[in-house]
Chains A and B, each alone.
Chain A
Amino acid sequence: MATIGHNNLNAKLVLLGDMGAGKSSLVLRFVKGQFLEFQESTIGAAFFSQTLAVNDATVKFEIWDTAGQERYHSLAPMYYRGAAAAIIVYDITSADSFTRAKKWVQELQKQGNPNMVMALAGNKADLEEKRKVTAEEARAYAEENGLFFMETSAKTAANVNDVFHEIAKRLPRAQPNQNPAGMVLVDRPAEGGARAASCCS
């Protein structure tokens, strides 16, 4: 859920899509500016945060990657819980991955919160010569289903930051906090008795 305070927004963002569509690569490009040609399947880190400034506010994304749990349809309801935004990723060189992306959109419409901002990202746009899914087809599907659409390339960085910026712009600003505030238990080294701070809802 996106929460607001002093024009600072905290928003949970989840990634969905087939294995190999490039979910982790998109995040790594966005968060670290890196790209690895042979990115291993997600291991060890599947939780990033990144702050963006847009117009009047800063948006801190808490980005959840699937950690491979999408492979056998074993994503837990917790994954969708409280997500303010989702990027559904497919590979423009694989018609199958586009078909599966549509399934993920249905799953989100079932599990996710109704005000969620959804983006459809056709990744690997640098591989034009191997393209199997046209931009027109994907855009039409996105429009019918209330998503915004962009083709991206984690390799060349094309449109990667743009997807996240567009989401940040579209997040509802004064969303009433539907959930009671909770607390996160945090483990930080004690520094002069200072209490660790982090926030959530």
Chain B
Amino acid sequence: MDEEYDVVVLGTGLKECILSGLLSVDGLKVLHMDRNDYYGGESTSLNLIQLWKKFRGSDKPPAHLGSSRDYNVDMIPKFIMANGALVRVLIHTDVTKYLYFKAVDGSFVYNKGKVHKVPATDMEALKSPLMGIFEKRRARKFFIYVQDYNENDPKTHEGMDLTRVTTRELIAKYGLDDNTVDFIGHALALHRDDRYLNEPALETVKKMKLYAESLARFQGGSPYIYPLYGLGELPQAFARLSAVYGGTYMLNKPECKVEFDEEGKVCGVTSEGETAKCKKVVCDPSYLPNKVRKVGKVARAICIMSHPIPNTNDSHSVQVILPQKQLGRRSDMYLFCCSYSHNVAPKGKFIAFVSTEAETDQPEIELKPGLDLLGPVDEIFFDVYDRYEPVNEPSLDNCFISTSYDATTHFESTVIDVLNMYSMITGKVLDLNVDLSAASAAEE
């Protein structure tokens, strides 16, 4: 490693691996290191033995759970929006050829103590028990407006400039009640809090369209897809892309100390007494703890179960959103469940997660409303992790630090961070105008 590189990437989390891949494809000389002996960093998927080591301090999971290697338990559980930014990146880079996906069975929302399927179209709105008969008709009109809305065609705007009209004003025009607004904002537009109501409506309309178009894409019961064998496959696939284009990979590298010159600019990375010279460093927050600050924390419970989440129509993979207002919280809570049908657990086993932006230090109590929806669990692990964001000025020190993964249920914010970092590193904008309609899924 005593060589000179354009970029040294530290940590093999998804964000770092996507960037490593993009930079190698651009022809930059990349060295990619990780202190762990496995790929994925915070966004890895663990087998049963690794899971027990991390949370139970033992490497002896109970035998009745089955073989350790049949488990791929995500540490950052998320689904992939079928028409979303991550799919565009996957297609743009042709990394899809290393991965197999399956549609996610269901998307549900918690409302007044019950779990309901999320209605995403005007037809579904008419059938949904979430609304009364008159409210359904009003909601249907709003859904049709959103479906027909085309940013470039003023005829579809019905005289409203959505870059100025707030979401609250738009919704008021259709006379929707607070209950309807709650599931539209949180389960369809996937906002995490209620700030969107006072922001321009365009963002919310676009998010609703993304949801509906993603739902229509693969004929699943949800707008999501998910890779077989778990999310840990994603960083590995992008790492392979980077390697194929000349990126050098070193795992199990202790220390990884970033070196600076007298002006405070990055000049290299030292590990095990060897220094790799470089012009830029890309890393996750754990490699440069002095250049990040804590911005929040995520509380979560990881459960191994022998049944699907009750009231989700027997879905073997599912998301349930519990909007903040339904729980009297400031941030939403999410349930995420995957199973042997996506090869993340042995036959008959399900992995369920309850997660939220933590508002207390007691995840056991805070996550209870979500846990109550799961029914009996075989095993449960509680965890709270801190979220960090960079505070450095990359133009001064040439350090490009990713933001920790948030509690959102999908990868849209992840990819936005990656694209911003890519632009800062290279001065270029990544063109993600792939033809999604030409890119379809082939199934055997």
| Chain A positions near chain B (C-beta within 8 angstroms) | 3, 5, 42-47, 67-69, 71-74, 76-79, 81, 179-190, 195-201
Contact = CB atoms under 8 A, between A and B. Distances in A.
Contacts of B101: 182-185
B239 A76 contact: yes
Contacts of A185: 87, 90-91, 96, 99, 101, 439-441
Contacts of A196: 438-440, 442
A68 to B, nearest CB: 6
Contacts of A181: 443-444
Contacts of A78: 98, 229, 233, 236-237, 240
B250 interface: yes
Nearest to A190: B438
Contacts of B244: 42-47, 67
Contact of B443 (A72, A79, A183, A189): A183
23 contacts: A45-B244, A69-B239, A76-B240, A78-B229, A180-B228, A180-B342, A180-B343, A183-B100, A183-B101, A183-B102, A183-B103, A183-B441, A184-B96, A184-B100, A185-B90, A186-B441, A187-B434, A187-B439, A189-B435, A195-B442, A196-B440, A197-B442, A199-B444
Most buried by A among B98, B100, B248, B343: B100
Interface of B: 39, 87, 90-91, 94, 96-103, 218, 227-229, 233, 236-237, 239-240, 243-246, 248-252, 341-343, 434-435, 437-444
Contacts of B250: 72, 74
A187 B435 contact: yes
Nearest to A191: B438
Contacts of A47: 97, 244
B248 A188 contact: no
A68 B248 contact: yes
A187 B103 CA distance: 18
Nearest to B25: A44
B414 to A, nearest CB: 18
A69 B245 CA distance: 11
Contacts of A43: 244-246
A183 B442 CA distance: 5
B310 to A, nearest CB: 23
B416 to A, nearest CB: 20
Q: What DSSP secondary structure best describes chain A's contact surface?
A: loop
B228 A188 contact: no
A71 B248 CA distance: 9
A187 B441 CA distance: 9
| Closest 9 pairs (CB-CB, A-B) | A182-B100, A74-B249, A76-B236, A67-B243, A183-B441, A199-B444, A190-B438, A185-B96, A78-B236
Contacts of A188: 438-439
Q: What DSSP secondary structure best describes chain B's contact surface?
A: mixed
A56 to B, nearest CB: 21
Given A69-B240, A76-B240, A190-B435, A184 B442 contact: yes
A182 B442 CA distance: 8
A1 to B, nearest CB: 10
A200 B100 contact: yes
A184 B435 contact: no
Contacts of B102: 180, 182-183
A183 to B, nearest CB: 4
A195 B341 contact: no
Contact of A72 (B245, B251, B440): B251
Given A43-B245, A185-B101, A190-B438, A67 B240 contact: yes
A33 to B, nearest CB: 22
Nearest to A75: B249
A185 B251 CA distance: 29
A201 B87 CA distance: 20
B27 to A, nearest CB: 11
A180 B341 contact: yes
Contact of B437 (A68, A190, A200, A201): A190
Nearest to A74: B249
B341 to A, nearest CB: 6
A105 B440 CA distance: 38
A93 B306 CA distance: 54
Contacts of B91: 185, 187
A179 B439 contact: no
Contacts of B341: 180
A58 B243 CA distance: 31
A187 B251 contact: no
Contacts of A42: 244
A44 B242 CA distance: 9
A81 B439 contact: no
A179 B99 CA distance: 14
A183 B217 CA distance: 13
Contacts of B229: 78, 81
A113 to B, nearest CB: 10
Most buried by B among A47, A72, A183: A183
Contacts of B249: 68-69, 71-72, 74
Contacts of B252: 73
Contact of A184 (B87, B99, B239, B434): B99
B224 to A, nearest CB: 13
A184 to B, nearest CB: 6
Given A46-B240, A69-B240, A196-B442, 13 more contacts: A42-B244, A67-B240, A67-B244, A76-B240, A182-B102, A184-B101, A184-B441, A186-B441, A187-B96, A187-B434, A187-B439, A196-B440, A199-B442
A145 to B, nearest CB: 21
